[in-house]
Each structure stands twice: as structure tokens, then as C-alpha cells.
Amino acid sequence: MKSIGYIGLDIHKKVIAFCIKINSGAVIEEGKIDATRSALTTWVARIDRPWIGAMEATLFTGWIYDFLKPHAQELKVAHPKMLKAISASKKKNDRVDAAKIADLLRCDLLPECHMADKQTRELRRALRYRNLVVRQAVLMKNKMAGLLMEVGAEYNKDKLHGKGYFDNLITTVEEVPESVIDLLKTSRASLEMFQAVEKRLRNALKNHPALRERVERLSSISGVGDMTALTWALEIGDVSRFSSRRKVISYCGLCSAQKESAGKSYRSPLSKDRNKHLQTVLIEAAKIAPRWNPELAALYERELARGNRNRATLAVARKLAVWLLAVDRKNEPFQTRTKEDKTAKQQAA
């Protein structure tokens, strides 16, 4: 029986560089193939030994991972930032990159990252597209207000984006060029389109069978809305991969990076190594949640007295992350514990 092959794949938009090695480190084959399903089918068919593969996480990794996984004994995805052996190399090209990925895999040193299942990635793609649509809708709203300000037109900013007020405004506003009226109508049509798409995507995600019950449980936390719950469910994925609340807080980007050398330790600003989608949503939720949740309001005031508003908001965001993690782990709606409950638990322990 032939020894197992270790395959490193360096993925690009149009081509994939590969390197096949065995246990000793000897190169069996290397080269390039087109990044198409037909080319991958031909390439996989000619591999004459069982193999384990690894590739770097890129925009194109998802479909290649799904296509190759049934053919491999094991398929891994490497964290891009952790592949220092490639980025620090003096000589760097596709062939060398594929060979180094194969070596890291062969020596069990590959910095593997989590690869969500196909359904989660598809739903996550829809959620992120919805967020893009929301940003475009806000852009259109700002543009409409900007057009009116450019020509000195008077308007009520609180009512501008209401359909009735807008229709009345463009027919009664004085001394506004016709070209600006046309641009306002175009912007309004775009805004309505974006709002319709956002509503359709949001409802489809909320009512998806794989998410409905989980979102309802997460939304049981006072101050957590549907979009916060959806973002948590799809960006976190399988919550069991986080062994502690500290790891969740770090993943959400709610703590600073720690640097220690020669016995001296200090904290830098918030780390850039995070899930930016979760970080954004949790911080936005933390700004509003204290209005609806007395416990979060008390936490915000306590932290505000010790520092500034940003520090207080971060403290609330961390508390939200811890609560979301607890609800997800227990698979039960959120329940606020009283002081008596906490005392009884401590005594029992």
C-alpha cells in the first residue's frame, strides 16, 4: 500500500498551485491546475494514493473545500495570519507556498482554523449581504439629504424618508433645479429597493428552520434583538468550539491585545484579530441595550463612573457576549438570577 500523501494547495482566483509530499518530505508531484470543477475532477482522479490536504482561507476556499472534501481522508483550512512561515520567506511564489503548506501539514504544524458547515456558510453569506444592503440604504438616505442641502432647500430631517412627506416635498419645494428633483427620485427608488430586499432577507433568515428556535432563545435576553441574535448564531456557528468566555470575548474583538516581554506586560488598543461582524453588532447593541435592561444599565453607569463612555460600552458588550454564550450552551431561554439564587449556588458549591 502506498504511503499517504500530504497536499498543500495555494488557491487563487484562476489557478491553484499544488504540492504532494510523503512522510519523508520527498516531493511526489507539484504543479498548477485551473481553479475550475472540471480541472479539479481530472486532477483528483489521477492521485494514486490516500491523501490529506490543506489550504489557506481565502475568498475562494469555500467551494473548493466542499468539492475536495469527499475525496480526501482529511481536509484542513489554515488561518492566513498564522502562516508566518510563508509571509516571512525570502523567496515567495505559488510553488513555494504550496510546498510550505504541505510541509506544515506533514509535520502537524498547520495553524488550522474553523470551517463552518455548508448550510451555515450559505446563511452567513445572506446575512452579510443583508448588512451590505443596509449600508447602501443609509448611503442613499444621506445622499438625499445632501442634495437638498446643496441647493438650500428646507426640509424636516425626521420626516424626509417617509413616503408621503417625500412625495409632497418634491412637488412643493421652491427654487430646486429639475436635475436635483430627478436625482432625488432616483435616490428614493433605490432606497425603496434596498429596504424591500433587506426586509425579504431578514424575514427569510428569522424564519429559517435551522435558526428559528435558536434566535428565539437568544432574543429572550432583554436588549438583544433579532439581528443581534442572528449575527451571533451565524458568526459563532457551533458554540461548543469555545471552551471559555474569554475565548468568545477575544473572538468578538471586545478585548485588547496583550504584549509581554522581559517581565513587562501592557495592553494595546482593541485587537484587530477578531470577527469584525460580531464586534460591530455587539457594540451597537451595547449602546441601546441599557435602555431596556436594568442590569446592563447599572453595569454601564458603574463602568462610566470608573472611565469613559467607550469603556462602559465595551463592558456592556462583553456582558452581552457572556449571556449569549450561556443561553447557547444551555439551550434554554435566558433567566435573570437574583442575589438569593447566586448565594444558594455558592453555598451548594
Residues 253 and 295 in one domain: yes
List pLDDT tens digits, range 242-260.
999 999 999 999 988 777 7
CATH code, 66: 3.30.420.140
| Number of domains the chain contains | 3
Residues 329 and 248 in one domain: yes
* CB distance 254 to 314 below 8 Å: yes
Is a pLDDT exceeding 70 seen at residue 304? Answer: yes
The model's confidence at residue 267, banded by pLDDT at 50, 70 and 90, is confident
Q: Is residue 111 part of a domain?
A: no
**Over residues 289-310, mean pLDDT:** 92
The model's confidence at residue 206, banded by pLDDT at 50, 70 and 90, is very high
CA dihedral angle for residue 92, residue 98, residue 99, residue 101, rounded to 10 degrees:
100
Q: What's the rounded Cα separation, in Å, for the pair 27 and 296?
A: 58
Mean per-residue pLDDT of the chain? 90
The model's confidence at residue 132, banded by pLDDT at 50, 70 and 90, is very high
pLDDT score for 264: 74
Give bridge partners of residue 52 from the DSSP assignment: 6, 74
Is a pLDDT exceeding 60 seen at residue 342? Answer: no
pLDDT score for 270: 81
Secondary structure class of 258 (helix, strand, coil): strand
Residue ending a domain, choose from 167, 188, 206? 206
Q: What's the rounded Cα separation, in Å, for the pair 139 and 141?
A: 5
**Over residues 314-326, mean pLDDT:** 95
Residues 130 and 171 in one domain: yes
Is a pLDDT exceeding 90 seen at residue 216? Answer: yes
How many C-beta atoms lie closer than 10 Å to residue 170's C-beta?
16
Distances (CA, A) of 282 to 189, 257, 321, 323: 31, 19, 8, 12
Spatial CB neighbours of 321, under 8 Å, sequence gap ≥ 6: 245, 248, 249, 252, 254, 282
Q: Is residue 113 part of a domain?
A: no
Q: Is residue 292 part of a domain?
A: yes
Is a pLDDT exceeding 60 seen at residue 202? Answer: yes
Q: Is residue 317 part of a domain?
A: yes
List pLDDT tens digits, range 39-82.
999 999 999 999 999 999 999 999 999 999 999 999 999 998 88
Residues 220 and 287 in one domain: yes
Residues 98 and 165 in one domain: no
Q: What's the rounded Cα separation, in Å, for the pair 33 and 11?
A: 10
Residues 56 and 129 in one domain: no
pTM: 0.87
Q: What's the rounded Cα separation, in Å, for the pair 90 and 110?
A: 20
**Over residues 293-307, mean pLDDT:** 92
Q: What's the rounded Cα separation, in Å, for the pair 6 and 296?
A: 51
Query: Radius of gyration (Cα) for the chain, nearest Å?
Result: 26
Half-sphere exposure of 233 (CA within 13 A, CB side): 28
pLDDT score for 195: 96
Residues 26 and 94 in one domain: yes
Domain range spanning residue 53? 5-106
pLDDT score for 257: 75
Is a pLDDT exceeding 90 seen at residue 221? Answer: yes
Residues 331 and 291 in one domain: yes
